[in-house]
Amino acid sequence: MTNNLIIKPAYLIAKDIKDKKNSQGEVYSFFEKRISQHNASLNAFVDLYKNNFDNQSNSNLTGVPIAIKDNICIKGKKITCASKILKYYQAVYDATVIKKLKSSGLSLIGTTNMDEFAFGSSTENSCYGPTKNPWDKTRVVGGSSGGSAAAVSARLVPFALGSDTGGSIRQPASFCGVVGLKPTYGRVSRYGLVAFGSSLDQIGPITTNIKDCAYLLNIISGFDQNDSTSAKVADPDFTKSLGQDVASLRIGLPKEYFDQDLNSEIKETLDQAIIFFKKKNIQFKKISLPHTQYSVPTYYIIASSEASSNLQRFDGIRYGYRAKADDLWQIYQKSRSQGFGDEAKRRVFLGTYSLSSGYYDAYYLKALKVRRLIKNDFDQAFKEVDAILTPTTPTAAFKIGEKIKDPLSMYLSDIYTISSNLAGIPAVSLPCGFTKDNLPLGMQLIAKDYDEATLIKLGDAFQQDTDFHKKIPELKNV
């Protein structure tokens, strides 16, 4: 009965439970077993829970197990953000998204590995060691939600939550051959998400297919008075966008993303996707987002500034790890020196520098102004098109160790994803091909504020006639 669970979308697993073809217990045990077989070689999960379902609820996803990135609070459970400084810390309340999942009857199966405090693009900056890519275990999974992306890609769980500050849902989704959606800033409550860049962070779904993404987004989105940046906007039923006609839509191709430096395999793959959409009578238009080249420096100034401020709370007193020391200043100093990893320290240095007097105007304030110009570029583009198509990443998954000593080249792996965070707009990565070495490639679709519906519509049209999202890595050597 449970054999086909690895190929079934989550919403159909839930339907089988409702129709009594499988029980919640059987489904949970099936995925627990897969995790016990494969997690040791992938290092995707950092904590696993015993069966915890609630039979009272009745939603479209009741009974389906879900994995949670280790930076989202689950009451009474460890939450570490893959940092030594929080190694034994337990959350004292449920994040709003967790409350929503619980009340919709999903089973939380465990928490997933990530870059420390979500700083990174490879899940190598983790106190638990790197997660391995299920398509090639010598390669990274992307980051920072790499554990979630790997777990979904290897079908250790039907879907997961990640968080995206500069690409951390989409980039690992692309490297692992799964779907990752960053909602509009304000669509999903950040209450209970450990803050990295508060003006950029969003929680979003990582799924094997776009339909599950729509179902999961329905559950986690919505206004929340506990998050002052959560938006009071209408909450559409995203599943209504599935199976809709896309013929009248217009897609923009920004020339800055398709320059001569674009990797040829990625270009050919995107060309195929464009041909596909043209057959659906979608119109393509060349557009320009002229401030694209400033997005990486702008992001790293703003994100690091906010991170340095957010990390101040980890002082060795209030949360987690405390170093042995003789006085208060030494407690602060030693707990942070010993508790934070290299990348976290780097972000604190970059951020406090950009915010300090004498440099504030030259860096932080200037970055805020450029951020506005980047947002204006998108506003302008969306007067002419309904969505924008770009690569998700400049390359397929790179080798473990390849970039870890070179932060700048690591930062550049987010070159295509971060401008949507700066602009606050929604974006999705969809599997759209493979390299000749059989590594997954992703395409990114970006839409205007609160228009996730268009992304889901386009994604569903694409997945109805293609099967890139159905390919499952072989998981050799286990």
Tokens 């401008």 identify what position? 419
166 near ligand GLN, judged by CB under 6 A = yes
Q: Kindly tell me which residue out of 159, 196, 321, 332 binds ligand GLN, with binding defined by CB under 6 A.
A: 196
303 near ligand GLN, judged by CB under 6 A = yes
150 near ligand GLN, judged by CB under 6 A = no
Q: Measure the CA–CA gap between 264 and 391, rounded to whole angstroms.
A: 11
289 near ligand GLN, judged by CB under 6 A = no
Q: What's the token pair of residue 442?
A: 């992703």
Q: Measure the CA–CA gap between 302 and 293, rounded to whole angstroms.
A: 16
Q: Name the segment binding ligand GLN (CB under 6 A); options: 39-47, 159-167, 234-242, 387-395.
A: 159-167
Q: Kindly tell me which residue out of 22, 126, 133, 144 binds ligand GLN, with binding defined by CB under 6 A.
A: 144
Any idea what DSSP says for residue 130?
A: P
Strand 250-254 with 283-287, pairing? parallel
Per-residue mark of binding to ligand GLN, 407-446 (x: CB under 6 A): -------x--------------------------------
118 near ligand GLN, judged by CB under 6 A = yes
- Considering the complex, what minimum distance in angstroms separates the CB of residue 54 from ligand GLN? 30
Q: What's the token pair of residue 454?
A: 């268009």
Q: What's the token pair of residue 21?
A: 């073809």
Phi, psi of 42 (to 5 degrees): -100, -30
Looking at residue 193, its amino acid is: L
Residues contacting ligand GLN: total by CB under 6 A: 13
Q: Name the segment binding ligand GLN (CB under 6 A); options: 92-100, 164-172, 284-292, 315-323.
A: 164-172
308 near ligand GLN, judged by CB under 6 A = no
164 near ligand GLN, judged by CB under 6 A = yes
Q: Name the segment binding ligand GLN (CB under 6 A); options: 3-11, 89-97, 115-123, 326-334.
A: 115-123
Q: Measure the CA–CA gap between 450 and 232, rounded to whole angstroms.
A: 11
168 near ligand GLN, judged by CB under 6 A = yes
Instruction: Compare residues 13 and 82 and give the one whose CB is closer to ligand GLN.
Output: 82
147 near ligand GLN, judged by CB under 6 A = no
Q: Measure the CA–CA gap between 298 and 304, rounded to whole angstroms.
A: 10
Q: What contacts 153, CB < 8 A, 6 or more positions away? A: 133, 134, 135, 141, 176, 177, 178, 208, 440, 472, 473
Instruction: Return the SS3 of 119.
Output: coil
Would you name the residues annotated as active-site residues?
69, 144, 168
Q: Measure the CA–CA gap between 48 and 197, rounded to whole angstroms.
A: 28
175 near ligand GLN, judged by CB under 6 A = no
- Residues in touch with ligand GLN (CB under 6 A): 118-121, 144, 164-168, 196, 303, 414
